[in-house]
Amino acid sequence: MKIFNIIFAVLFVVFAALQYNDPDPYIWMPIYLLAAFICWMGARKKFFPVLTLVGLLIYAFYALYLFFEKDGVIDWVAEHNAENIAGQMKAATPWIEDTREFFGLVLTSFALLMNYFYWKRLKKKA
């Protein structure tokens, strides 16, 4: 779990840095930096279960919103035939931007969920 957390912490810091040129970096930089912090602390076996759950809930609800909104993931699949979202760095269309954001939230949610369950397992053993 330590290696998992270190890898994800580094990835999330890189993702946060890449948000600098994003139209809304004030939203996405904190999202990725919170996930990086939780993963980094998890690698050091220091857990913040309440913060992890709050982050997880926010990320999950935001992901659900991006999934169903106009120009969201459903629209990307149904209306735009799941066109390539990694073809170019700049998202030229709103459905590509929203779909990328959705997958970013899924990835951060996964990392937080893994940390929460790992903390629960350690707590149960103790």
DSSP string, 68-100: HSTTSHHHHHHTTTT--SSSSSS--SHHHHHHH
Residue 58: which domain range? Answer: 2-125
* More confident: 101 or 8: 8
Is 24 a residue whose pLDDT tops 90?
no
The pLDDT confidence band at residue 47, using thresholds 50, 70 and 90, is very high
Is 95 a residue whose pLDDT tops 90?
no
**In this predicted structure, what is the pLDDT of residue 91?**
64
The pLDDT confidence band at residue 98, using thresholds 50, 70 and 90, is confident
What are the pLDDT digits (tens) for 113-123?
999 999 999 88
Tokens standing for residue 51: 């913060």
pTM: 0.88
Tell me the torsion sign for CA atoms 55, 56, 57, 60.
positive
Q: Residue 103 region, left (φ>0) first, then alpha (ψ -120 to 50), else beta?
A: alpha
Judged by DSSP in three states, 45 sits in coil
The pLDDT confidence band at residue 41, using thresholds 50, 70 and 90, is very high
CA-based nearest residue to 17, from 9, 29, 26, 35: 29
Tokens standing for residue 114: 């893994």
Per the structure, the count of domains in the chain is 1
